[in-house]
Amino acid sequence: MKIAIIQTSLVEPTGGERQSLMLAISLQKMGHEVTIFTQAVSVHCFPELQKQVTIVAASTFLQRTEQNVVQKRMNIPALYVLRYFKCLFQVFFFYRSIKDTLSKFDVINPHNFPMEWVSFFVKRDFPNKQIVWMCNEPPFYYFSQQNLMTRLVSWPIFYIFDKCAVRAIDKIVTLDRLNQSRVLSIYGREPRLIRSGAEIETVSHSAAELSDCRRKFNLLDDSFIVLSVATLAPYKRPDKTLLAIQKLHNKIPTICGIFVGSGEMEQVLQDMSVAMSLSDSIHFIKHVSESDLAMLYDICNVYVFPANQTWGLSAVEAMLHAKPVLVSRDCGVSEIVTDWENGVLVDGDNAVSIADAIFKLYKNNTSMCFIGSSARKYVLENLSWTKYAEKMASQFEN
CATH number at residue 330: 3.40.50.2000
Query: What pLDDT is stored for residue 240 in this prediction?
Result: 98
* 153 and 276 both lie in a single domain: no
User: What end-to-end distance do the CA atoms of the chain give, in Å?
Assistant: 11
Number of domains in the chain: 2
Q: Would residue 333 count as lying in a domain?
A: yes
Domain range enclosing 60: 2-197+385-396
Q: Would residue 272 count as lying in a domain?
A: yes
pLDDT per position as a tens digit, 179-226: 999 999 999 999 999 999 887 655 678 888 888 888 888 888 899 999
Q: Would residue 316 count as lying in a domain?
A: yes
Q: Would residue 34 count as lying in a domain?
A: yes
Distance CA(322)–CA(370), nearest Å, equals: 9
**Highest mean pLDDT out of 49-63, 131-145, 207-221, 320-334:** 320-334
Per mean pLDDT, which range of 51-60, 233-242, 316-325, 332-341 is the poorest?
A: 51-60
- Residue 182 CB neighbour total at 10 angstroms: 20
Query: What pLDDT is stored for residue 326 in this prediction?
Result: 98
Residue 315 clears pLDDT 70, i.e. is over it: yes
* 118 and 51 both lie in a single domain: yes
- Residue 396 CB neighbour total at 10 angstroms: 19
Query: What pLDDT is stored for residue 79 in this prediction?
Result: 56
> Across the chain, what does the average pLDDT equal?
91
Residue 385 clears pLDDT 60, i.e. is over it: yes
* 148 and 247 both lie in a single domain: no
- Residue 156 CB neighbour total at 10 angstroms: 12
Distance CA(229)–CA(300), nearest Å, equals: 12
Residues 62/98, Cβ–Cβ less than 8 Å: no
Residue 282 three-state SS: strand
Return the DSSP state at 63. Answer: P
pLDDT over 70 for what percent of the chain? 92
* 211 and 185 both lie in a single domain: no
pLDDT per position as a tens digit, 87-111: 889 999 999 999 999 999 999 999 9
What b/e string do you get for 185-213 counting C-beta neighbours within 10 Å, with b at 16 or more? ebbeeebeebbbbbbebeeebeeeeeeeb
Helical spans, DSSP H, in the chain: 15-29, 47-50, 77-102, 118-125, 148-156, 163-167, 177-187, 207-216, 238-248, 266-275, 290-299, 313-320, 351-363, 365-382, 385-396
Q: State the average pLDDT over residues 71-100.
A: 74
* 214 and 114 both lie in a single domain: no
* 112 and 218 both lie in a single domain: no
* 116 and 146 both lie in a single domain: yes
* 185 and 222 both lie in a single domain: no
CB neighbour list of residue 87: distance below 8 Å, 6 or more residues apart: 113, 114, 117
pTM (predicted TM-score) = 0.90
Distance CA(104)–CA(88), nearest Å, equals: 24
Instruction: Please confirm whether the linkage preceding 114 is cis (ω < 30° from 0).
Output: yes
Q: State the average pLDDT over residues 362-370.
A: 96
Residues 253/228, Cβ–Cβ less than 8 Å: no
**Highest mean pLDDT out of 70-84, 211-225, 244-258:** 244-258
Beta bridge mates, 58: none
Distance CA(134)–CA(109), nearest Å, equals: 7
pLDDT per position as a tens digit, 142-162: 887 766 777 787 888 888 999
